[in-house]
A = this chain, B = another copy of it.
Amino acid sequence: MKKKYDPLGIKNLRKTKARKTIIAILSKDKDRAFSAEELHTACDADLQIDLSTVYRTMNTLTESGLVTKSMRDDGKAYFQLAEPQGSVHHHRIVCSRCKASADIAMCPLHNLEQQILSETGFLITSHSLELTGLCPDCKAEEERS
């Protein structure tokens, strides 16, 4: 039999309209993080879901580990589908000028964890790395001006 992507089932969460809808939205663009407001608006297309329900849903999904939450300097929380276990850990670089993004194939931290453990005695359990820069196009633009 064919395996299906069933995160709610796996986490023993009720399969409600709101949760399924939101997971569907996040799944369509796994590399992007959405604000609660964005999710709320996107839900509209499907069926109306209250903004408070969006927040409650995001809290549930975040606590269950299905979704990761990160705060940005604009003061809003952004949510993104968590990488399923076993997937390749990687990071993303975002262009500060045009917001284009690219994946970084590897993670510089993995090699460092052992070194940090011996230097500091700290055991690293998680990390977040945000890279900002200029994409090739914008780099060219900047050099021209």
Contacts and interface: CB of A to CB of B under 8 A. Distances in A.
B108 A120 contact: no
Given A75-B71, A77-B75, A104-B116, A96 B122 contact: no
A125 B109 CA distance: 19
B122 A136 contact: yes
Given A75-B71, A119-B105, A124 B135 contact: no
Q: Main SS of chain A's interface residues?
A: strand
Interface residues on A, range: 35 or more
A122 B135 contact: yes
Interface stretch (A14-22, A40-48, A81-89, A126-134): A126-134
A131 B121 contact: no
A113 to B, nearest CB: 9
A1 interface: no
Nearest to A104: B116
Given A93-B116, A123-B134, A127-B131, 17 more contacts: A69-B73, A71-B71, A71-B72, A71-B75, A73-B77, A75-B75, A93-B120, A103-B120, A108-B109, A116-B131, A121-B136, A122-B133, A122-B136, A123-B133, A125-B132, A125-B133, A127-B132
